C-alpha cells in the first residue's frame, strides 16, 4: 500500500506549472488535493512518472460570486466551497452536492475542481457542473480555453483535459430566480461513492407552479447523465407524472451491476431518487419564492 516512485515538481506560479506540464506531456499528472489520486497510487492502480504539485500556486484558492456565476479556483477545497456563505446564497446546489462528497475529513483536502477533472461517474460535483451549465477553464502554455460541462466529460474517469493543460477553475451558472434544487443519493455506507445519486434543479413561476425541471444522475452511466424532465410536468405544474418521469430517465441511463448493486436495483434507485430530488427541489423553490431567494 505504498505509492510507486515518481519525480516530484513543485512550481510556485501557474506559468511555471504549465511550462513543466508542457515539457512532460503525457508523462505529467497534476496533484492537487490527491484524495482520489493518492489512494489509486497506493493501490498501484495508477503510477504517474511525474507529479506536478499545484498546492503552492498562488491565487487559486478562490470562490468568486458574480451576478451570473460562481467561479471556483483549482485550490479551493471542497469544505471551503461548501461553507462559503455567498456561494451558498447564489447556488444552494453547491452545498447540497458537496455535503454528499465523501467525509468532512476528505473534503478538507480534496478540491472541487480536482474532483471534476477526475471525472468519476459516481462523483457528485461533475453532475452539479453539468446541471448548472458550468464550464472548466484550462490553462496551458498556449493560453486559456474554456470547455463547457456538456463537452467536458467524455467517459468514465476521462475528461477533455489534454496533456500539458492545468484546470485552473470551474464556473457554475446561477439558476434563475424562482429556482429550487436538491441532491439526494444512496450509498452503502455514509461517505461512500453512491450506488446512485440525483441532482435536480427546477424553476417555478410566481405562485409556485413548475415551469421547467432538469436532473443529473450519477452512478448509472459512464458520466453524469443530464435529463430534461420538463415534459413530464403535470398540466398544472404542481408536480410530475411518475410514469413519464420514469420513461425519460430510462431512455438516458445505462446502469451496470457490480458488487454493491445490480443494474436493476440502480435503475430502481434512479426512478425513486429522481422523484425525491424533484419534490425536494420544488418544495425549496416554493419556499424560496416566499422568502425572495434561490433555494
Partner 1 sequence: MTTEPGTTSTDTPVHVGFTVNGVPYELEVPARRLLSDALRHDLRLTGTHVGCEHGVCGACTVLVDGDPVRSCLVFAVSLEGAEITTVEGCQNAEGGMGPVQQAFQDCHALQCGFCTPGFITTITAYLEENPDPTAEEAREAISGNLCRCTGYQNIVAAVQRAAEIRSGLLAPTGSTSSTGSTSEGETP
Interface residue list for partner 1 (CB under 8 A): 1-8, 10, 31, 34-35, 38-39, 41-43, 47, 49, 51, 53, 55-56, 79, 102-106, 108-109, 190-191
Residue 206 or 259 with smaller CB distance to partner 1: 259
Report the nearest approach of partner 1 to the CB of residue 273 (Å).
20
Q: How far apart are CA 215 and CA 230, in angstroms?
A: 10
List, in sequence order, the alpha helices (H) in the chain.
Answer: 14-24, 37-42, 78-83, 85-90, 92-98, 104-107, 112-118, 124-131, 149-152, 242-252, 263-291
Residue 103 or 287 with smaller CB distance to partner 1: 103
At 216, list the grid cell.
443529473
DSSP 44-56: TS---SEEEE-TT
CA 112 to chain centre: 8
Report the nearest approach of partner 1 to the CB of residue 209 (Å).
35
Residue 79 or 274 with smaller CB distance to partner 1: 79
Residue 3 or 164 with smaller CB distance to partner 1: 3
At 226, list the grid cell.
443530464
Residue 31 or 226 with smaller CB distance to partner 1: 31
Report the nearest approach of partner 1 to the CB of residue 200 (Å).
23
Report the nearest approach of partner 1 to the CB of residue 118 (Å).
14
Q: Contact 77/98 with Cβ under 8 angstroms?
A: no
Q: Which of 121, 243, 111 is nearest to 169 (CA)?
A: 111
**Rg of the chain on CA atoms, in Å:** 19
Report the nearest approach of partner 1 to the CB of residue 34 (Å).
6
Amino acid at each position: 500500500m505504498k505509492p510507486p516512485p515518481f519525480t516530484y515538481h513543485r512550481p510556485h506560479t501557474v506559468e511555471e506549472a504549465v511550462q513543466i506540464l508542457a515539457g512532460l506531456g503525457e508523462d505529467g499528472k497534476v496533484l492537487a488535493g490527491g484524495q482520489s489520486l493518492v489512494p489509486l497510487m497506493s493501490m498501484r492502480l495508477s503510477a504517474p512518472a511525474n507529479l506536478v504539485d499545484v498546492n503552492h500556486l498562488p491565487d487559486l484558492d478562490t470562490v468568486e460570486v458574480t451576478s451570473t456565476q460562481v467561479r471556483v479556483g483549482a485550490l479551493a477545497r471542497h469544505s471551503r466551497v461548501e461553507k462559503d456563505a455567498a456561494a451558498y446564497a447564489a447556488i444552494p446546489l453547491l452545498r447540497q452536492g458537496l455535503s454528499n462528497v465523501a467525509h468532512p475529513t476528505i473534503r478538507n483536502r480534496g478540491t472541487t475542481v480536482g474532483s471534476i477533472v477526475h471525472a468519476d461517474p459516481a462523483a457528485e460535483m461533475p453532475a452539479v457542473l453539468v446541471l448548472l451549465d458550468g464550464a472548466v477553464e484550462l490553462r496551458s502554455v498556449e493560453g486559456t480555453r474554456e470547455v463547457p460541462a456538456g463537452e467536458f466529460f467524455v467517459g468514465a474517469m476521462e475528461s477533455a483535459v489534454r496533456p500539458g493543460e492545468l484546470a485552473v477553475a470551474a464556473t457554475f451558472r446561477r439558476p434563475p430566480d424562482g429556482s429550487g434544487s436538491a441532491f439526494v443519493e444512496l450509498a452503502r455506507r455514509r461517505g461512500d461513492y453512491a450506488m446512485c445519486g440525483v441532482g435536480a434543479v427546477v424553476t417555478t413561476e410566481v405562485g409556485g407552479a413548475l415551469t421547467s425541471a432538469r436532473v443529473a444522475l450519477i452512478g448509472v452511466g459512464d458520466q453524469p447523465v443530464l435529463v430534461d424532465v420538463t415534459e413530464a410536468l403535470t398540466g398544472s405544474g404542481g408536480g410530475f407524472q411518475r410514469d413519464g418521469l420514469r420513461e425519460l430517465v430510462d431512455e438516458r441511463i445505462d446502469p451496470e451491476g457490480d458488487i454493491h448493486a445490480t443494474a436493476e436495483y440502480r435503475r430502481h434507485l434512479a426512478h425513486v431518487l429522481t422523484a425525491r430530488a424533484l419534490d425536494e427541489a420544488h418544495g425549496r423553490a416554493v419556499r424560496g419564492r416566499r422568502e425572495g431567494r434561490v433555494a
